[in-house]
Amino acid sequence: EAGVAQSPRYKIIEKRQSVAFWCNPISGHATLYWYQQILGQGPKLLIQFQNNGVVDDSQLPKDRFSAERLKGVDSTLKIQPAKLEDSAVYLCASSLVRQGIYTQYFGPGTRLTVL
């Protein structure tokens, strides 16, 4: 099956600018996640969607980050305005539940550099 797709793969912006990332999950996967992975650290969940509804956004900096998943398929993550500390890889993942377990499959990520 096709994997999780993300674009762009790389983005360089200046602080205070805006940026948006796009994710297309594996077909049929109802759950979609956005993670932030800072260099040298493990991924940290930003937001989780079940279909087009938000399940968990407790770690999303809502003053500058927003995300949506219209029609329960593709999703976009936006940062406005960006700060230097937002430099990271933004990973999208999707999952399908089997026997009560939501196995997560990751996309290739978008590497964001904020100058």
Partner 1 sequence: GENVEQHPSTLSVQEGDSAVIKCTYSDSASNYFPWYKQELGKRPQLIIDIRSNVGEKKDQRIAVTLNKTAKHFSLHITETQPEDSAVYFCAASIGAQKLVFGQGTRLTINP
- Under rule CB under 8 A, residue 40 binds partner 1: yes
3-class SS of residue 45:
strand
Least Å distance, CB 18 to partner 1, is: 25
Residues 57-86 binding partner 1 (CB under 8 A) are: none
Distances (CA, A) of 25 to 40, 80, 102: 25, 24, 14
Query: Binder to partner 1 among 8, 51, 56, 84 (CB under 8 A)?
Result: 56
Closest CA to 13 of 64, 48, 56: 64
- Under rule CB under 8 A, residue 53 binds partner 1: no
Which residue's CB is nearer to partner 1, number 25 or number 107?
A: 107
Q: Phi first, then psi: give them for residue 85, nearest 5 degrees.
A: -75, -5
Residue 16: other Cβ atoms inside 10 A: 10
Residues lying near partner 1 in the complex (CB under 8 A) are found at 3-4, 31, 40-45, 48, 55-56, 91, 95, 97, 100-109
